[in-house]
Amino acid sequence: MHNGPARDRRAGKHEVGGGMAGEAARNVARKLIDAHLVAGAPVPGAEIGLRIDQTLTQDATGTLVMLELAAMGLDRVETDLSVQYVDHNLLQADAKNAEDHLFLRSACRRFGLWFSKPGNGVSHPTHMRRFGVPGASLAGSDSHTCAAGSLGMLAIGVGGIDVAMAMAGRPLSITMPEIWGVRLTGEPPPWVSAKDVILELLRRHGVSGGTGRVIEYHGPGLASLGAMDRHVIANMGAELGATTSVFPADAAVREFLRSVGREKDYTPVTADPDATYDVTDEIDLSRLEPLIAAPSSPGNVVPVREVAGTPVSQVVVGSSANPGLRDFAIVAAIVKGRQAADAVSFDINPTSREILVDLTEMGAVLDLVTAGARIHQAGCLGCIGVGQAPARGRNSLRTFPRNFPGRSGTEEDAVWLCSPETAAAAALTGEITDPRDLGVPYPDPRLPSRSAVIHGMLMPPAPDPDAELVKGPNIASLPDFEPPPGHVDGPVLLKVGDDVSTDEISPGGARALPLRSNIPRLAEFTFVRVDEGYPARAAETGEHVIVAGANYGQGSSREHAAITTRYLGVRAVLARSFARIHRQNLINFGVLPLRFADPGDYERIEQGDILVFDTKTSDESGEIEEIIVRNRTKREDYRLRHGLSPRQADILRAGGLIPKIKRERSIKRV
> Is residue 99 over pLDDT 50?
yes
Alpha carbons within 13 A on the beta-carbon side of 390: 30
Amino acid at site 321 = A
> Is residue 517 over pLDDT 90?
no
Whether cis (ω within 30° of 0) applies to the bond prior to 296 is: yes
Domain 28-287 classified CATH 3.30.499.10? yes
CA dihedral 310, 315, 317, 320 (to 10 degrees): -70
CA distance linking residue 523 with residue 459, whole number of Å: 33
Number of other CB atoms surrounding residue 326 within 10 Å: 19
Number of other CB atoms surrounding residue 532 within 10 Å: 9
Mapping DSSP to helix (H, G, I), strand (E, B) and coil, where does residue 55 land?
Answer: strand
> Is residue 572 over pLDDT 90?
yes
Contact by Cβ (8 Å): 150, 128: yes
DSSP state, residue 198: H
Q: Could you please report the per-residue DSSP string of 365-388?
A: HHHHHHTTPEE--SSSGGGGTSS-
CA distance linking residue 512 with residue 635, whole number of Å: 40
- The confidence band for 22, taking pLDDT boundaries of 50, 70 and 90, is low
Alpha carbons within 13 A on the beta-carbon side of 113: 30
Average pLDDT of every residue of the chain: 92
Mention every residue, 6+ apart, whose C-beta is less than 8 A from residue 341.
312, 427, 428, 429, 430
Amino acid at site 633 = T
Q: How many angstroms separate the first and last alpha carbons of the chain?
A: 45
Lowest mean pLDDT among 336-345, 451-460, 661-670: 661-670
- The confidence band for 319, taking pLDDT boundaries of 50, 70 and 90, is confident
- What is the per-residue pLDDT across 165-209, written as a single tens digit (0 to 9) for each? 999 999 999 999 999 999 999 999 999 999 999 999 999 999 999
Helix (H) or strand (E) holding 510: helix 509-512
Alpha helices in 523-611 (DSSP H): 534-541, 560-567, 580-588, 601-604
Alpha carbons within 13 A on the beta-carbon side of 373: 32
Domain positions in the chain? 28-287, 291-438, 487-669
Q: Which residues make beta-bridge pairs with 281?
A: 182
Amino acid at site 625 = E
Alpha carbons within 13 A on the beta-carbon side of 522: 35
Alpha helices in 123-235 (DSSP H): 123-130, 160-167, 194-205, 227-235
> Is residue 91 over pLDDT 90?
no
Q: Which residue has the higher pLDDT, 624 or 542?
A: 542
Q: Which residues make beta-bridge pairs with 84?
A: 57, 115
Within 106-242, strands assigned E span: 114-116, 137-140, 154-157, 172-175, 178-185, 213-218
Q: What's the average model confidence in pLDDT over 412-423?
A: 97
Alpha helices in 177-226 (DSSP H): 194-205
CATH class of 487-669: alpha beta
- What is the per-residue pLDDT across 42-60, written as a single tens digit (0 to 9) for each? 999 999 999 999 999 999 8
Q: Could you please report the per-residue DSSP string of 457-486?
A: TEEPP---TTPPP---TT-PPPPP-PPP-S
Per-residue buried b or exposed e for 80-96, using 16+ beta carbons within 10 Å of the residue's own CB: bbbbbbbbbbbeeeeeb
Strands 291-293 and 301-303: antiparallel
- The confidence band for 4, taking pLDDT boundaries of 50, 70 and 90, is very low
Are 28-287 and 291-438 the same fold in CATH? yes
- The confidence band for 670, taking pLDDT boundaries of 50, 70 and 90, is very low
Contact by Cβ (8 Å): 630, 611: yes
Contact by Cβ (8 Å): 656, 588: yes
Strands 636-641 and 626-631: antiparallel
CA distance linking residue 419 with residue 252, whole number of Å: 21
CA distance linking residue 445 with residue 362, whole number of Å: 9
Mention every residue, 6+ apart, whose C-beta is less than 8 A from residue 334.
421, 424, 425, 428, 435, 438, 440, 443
- The confidence band for 629, taking pLDDT boundaries of 50, 70 and 90, is very high
Q: Is the whole-model pTM more than 0.85?
A: yes
Q: Which CATH number fits domain 291-438: 3.30.70.260, 3.20.20.70, 3.50.50.60, 3.30.499.10?
A: 3.30.499.10
